[in-house]
Homo-oligomer: A and B are copies of this chain.
Amino acid sequence: MKKFLFMAAAALVTATAGAQVTEDFKPATTNQEGKQYPMVNSQRMVRAQISAPQANSVKLDIGGVKYDMKKDENGVWTGESAPQDEGFHYYQLEIDGASVPDPGSKYYYGASRWGSGIDIPAADEEFYTVKNVPQGSINEIYYWSSVTESMRHGYIYLPAEYYSNPDKKFPVLYLQHGMGENETGWSAQGKTGIIMDNLIAAGKAVPFIIYMDNGLNARRPGEQQGGFGGFGGQRPQAGQRPQGAPQGGQRPQGAQGQRPGGARGMGGAGFANMARMFGGAFEDVLMKDIIPMVEKNYRVIADTEHRAMAGLSMGGMQTHGITLANPTKFAYVGIFSGGTISPDELTDAADFKKTNKVLFMSCGGKENMGVDKAAEDLKAIGINAHSYVSPETAHEWQTWRRSLYQFAQLIFK
């Protein structure tokens, strides 16, 4: 950001639609190779551009607001958004009523669709920037699930030392995405591999394995998915609505609004048990298929003291529900923007209290989830509770990148 601010001082300042726009736009780091648009300026405004000579209306749809773009004599449409929060945001273009990805950006799975995303430079982006340090890998795998009776798809992060020290065994964190996202979210938007390589190289985290699966698509044979569709997760939407038709499940702001805990904030076990349900058979898949598969195929320290679970939003609620339902299986628990655990839930949960070494709860500064108060209350009943509030971020990936960065430094030590 320093460089951005310096440039802003020198830059032209023009007035557009009443707002002062600093003309120091640069291509976003999330753009496709060689693409100049979308751009971001030092005010964190997004400027999009697309050629649509015959279009009547083109809008930039980001952060729950649609911004009108203007057409020039060559049929090229350009427009800016209001300033956005630091970090990653889903967005899209609307061309004559069609919601489509921006051909300038790379694509990410979130808000129940593959579509455009943009990273707004952040003051602390160093921690998720690729550096010349020992590199682990993000490995794409398939495995057989006895619960769903199908091949399933996941990603596993192996730290650099997994390759360089072939005799060493490692702890494992099971890390889950949010509603409307999938198993690609933590490595792509979340930058999990980069964050971990940097933390381990700096000696701030011990090397551990991270396994990331899909918490929404686990269904037993013949089980329907429609029951979960209300949350835009896995419903075959297009079967009920034409492609691209406005529908919450397909739009970032829609999915945001729909994310339990998103705007509302909440706590307690109710949502957590609902979250266990959203995932259908996910709890069974995790306990009966995934954990045994990881412990069989990789060099893992296969005991509770070296097993952690964490997740964001719905994944945090799943973590909440699953770790309480399996109180002797996970020593470390992280809930990112997924509500809180209350003392009432743990008062009689002797096994959980005996097993738990760290209970971490976080959220964005623009969310109100009461994590600090919750941590104090849990400490009062003897839980090693930690809380973190991400400055100036909402229910989005910058909050969760920072939450992983904090949580990873607390566990397996």
Binding site for B on A (CB under 8 A): 32-37, 49-58, 74-76, 93, 95-104, 106-107, 112-115, 130-132, 135, 137-144, 151, 156, 158, 163-164, 166, 182, 187, 193, 217, 225, 234-239, 241-245, 250, 297-298
Contact = CB atoms under 8 A, between A and B. Distances in A.
Given A95-B100, A238-B37, A243-B35, A54 B51 contact: no
Nearest to A145: B132
B140 A137 contact: yes
The 9 closest A-B pairs by CB, nearest first: A52-B98, A54-B96, A55-B96, A36-B238, A76-B242, A53-B97, A34-B236, A137-B139, A51-B245
Contact of A50 (B33, B52, B57, B243): B243
Contacts of A140: 137-140, 187, 193
B104 A103 contact: no
17 contacts: A32-B113, A33-B234, A37-B243, A50-B242, A51-B98, A51-B242, A52-B95, A53-B97, A54-B96, A74-B242, A100-B101, A104-B238, A104-B243, A131-B151, A135-B143, A139-B139, A163-B298
Contact of A34 (B135, B143, B234): B234
Contact of A244 (B50, B137, B236): B50
A239 B36 contact: yes
Contacts of A34: 112, 225, 234-239
Contacts of A238: 34-37, 104
A89 B32 CA distance: 20
Contact of A97 (B54, B115, B163): B54
Contacts of A163: 297-298
A223 to B, nearest CB: 15
A232 to B, nearest CB: 10
B100 A103 contact: yes
B76 A245 contact: yes
Contacts of A245: 51, 76
B139 A242 contact: no
A5 B390 CA distance: 56
B139 A138 contact: yes
A55 B297 contact: no
B113 A97 contact: no
A56 B57 contact: no
A75 B99 contact: no
A56 B96 contact: yes
Nearest to A214: B33
Contact of A98 (B35, B50, B99, B139): B50
Contacts of A217: 33
A386 to B, nearest CB: 30
Contacts of A55: 55-56, 95-98
Nearest to A152: B130
Contacts of A131: 151
A398 B148 CA distance: 30
Contacts of A93: 100
Contacts of A193: 140
A113 B107 contact: no
Contacts of A244: 50-52, 103-104
A228 to B, nearest CB: 11
B114 A97 contact: no
B151 A53 contact: no
Nearest to A108: B107
Contacts of A100: 50, 93, 95, 98, 100-101, 103
